[in-house]
């Protein structure tokens, strides 16, 4: 890949006097010697944050104090590798903390939680969180053996509860009903574009569409 080469012009005392763009080291070196003397040299500095007045000592760039090394500038590949390593470390730490997150926090980092499929023929325990079809669920009760034909759904609502974004349940901020949810009295819910008011709390999760619960738990607003 073609790229511009940048050289530091270093005088006979090892002081960076200038920087030039040149694609040939010999040419750059000749220019520096012609300008600053026979012992002056050109040193490629594409990867260093070199400034005029910095020092070049024993093959390394230093700030003008002669003690502080000039910052090294990684190339794109090195930067990606570094960020990838740091990201993996952060992800491991976050995954370790994930069980203590609130539901709202958990919804923002669903990718930290294991997929439900990884527990098939294994066990899950009450309070565990898993992801299925990009939805986050909480396990309602201990499951000694997770069966492949019983994924989280309205048909397994006794085992899994979907975790949804918090809503106030007010007229202005009704709760989206998902067919697996406890209904709380005086809270507003919405489903299929229709607004409902809970007139009788269910006390536990209900699974029917709200349209089937009119007069029992809810009324249309």
Tell me what pLDDT residue 54 has: 96
Residue at which a domain ends, from 62, 92, 108: 62
pLDDT tens digit string along 105-164?
888 888 889 999 999 999 999 999 999 999 999 999 999 999 999 999 878 888 998 888
Asked if residue 2 has pLDDT above 50, the reply is no
Residue 127 lies in a domain: no
Residue 71 lies in a domain: no
Residue 89 lies in a domain: no
Residue 37 lies in a domain: yes
Residue 183 lies in a domain: yes
Domain count, the chain: 2
Residue 23 makes CB contacts below 8 A (sequence gap 6+) with 4, 5
Bridge partner list, 79: none
Please, what is the average pLDDT of the chain?
89
Residue 54 lies in a domain: yes
Residue 167 lies in a domain: no
pLDDT tens digit string along 7-18?
999 999 999 999
Residue 34: which domain range?
6-62
Residue at which a domain ends, from 14, 46, 62: 62
Do residues 92 and 83 make contact, with C-beta atoms less than 8 angstroms apart?
A: no
Residue 124 lies in a domain: no
């Amino acid at each position: 890949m073609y790229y511009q080469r940048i050289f530091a012009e270093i005088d006979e005392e090892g002081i960076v006097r200038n920087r030039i763009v040149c694609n040939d080291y010999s040419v750059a070196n000749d220019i520096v010697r012609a300008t600053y003397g026979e012992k002056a040299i050109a040193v490629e500095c594409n990867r260093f944050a070199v400034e005029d007045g910095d020092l070049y000592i024993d093959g390394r760039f230093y700030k003008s104090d002669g003690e502080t090394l000039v910052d090294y500038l990684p190339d794109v590949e090195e930067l990606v590798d570094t960020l990838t390593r740091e990201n993996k470390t952060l992800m491991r730490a976050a995954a370790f903390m994930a069980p203590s997150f609130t539901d709202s926090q958990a919804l923002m980092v669903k990718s930290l939680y294991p997929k439900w499929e990884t527990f098939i023929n294994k066990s899950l325990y009450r309070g565990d969180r898993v992801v299925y079809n990009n939805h986050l669920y909480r396990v309602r009760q201990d499951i000694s053996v997770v069966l492949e034909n019983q994924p989280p759904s309205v048909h397994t609502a006794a085992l899994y509860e979907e975790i949804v974004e918090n809503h106030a349940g007010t007229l202005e901020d009704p709760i989206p009903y998902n067919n697996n949810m406890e209904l709380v009295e005086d809270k507003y819910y919405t489903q299929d574009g229709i607004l409902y008011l809970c007139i009788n709390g269910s006390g536990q999760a209900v699974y029917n569409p709200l349209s089937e619960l009119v007069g029992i738990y809810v009324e249309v607003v």
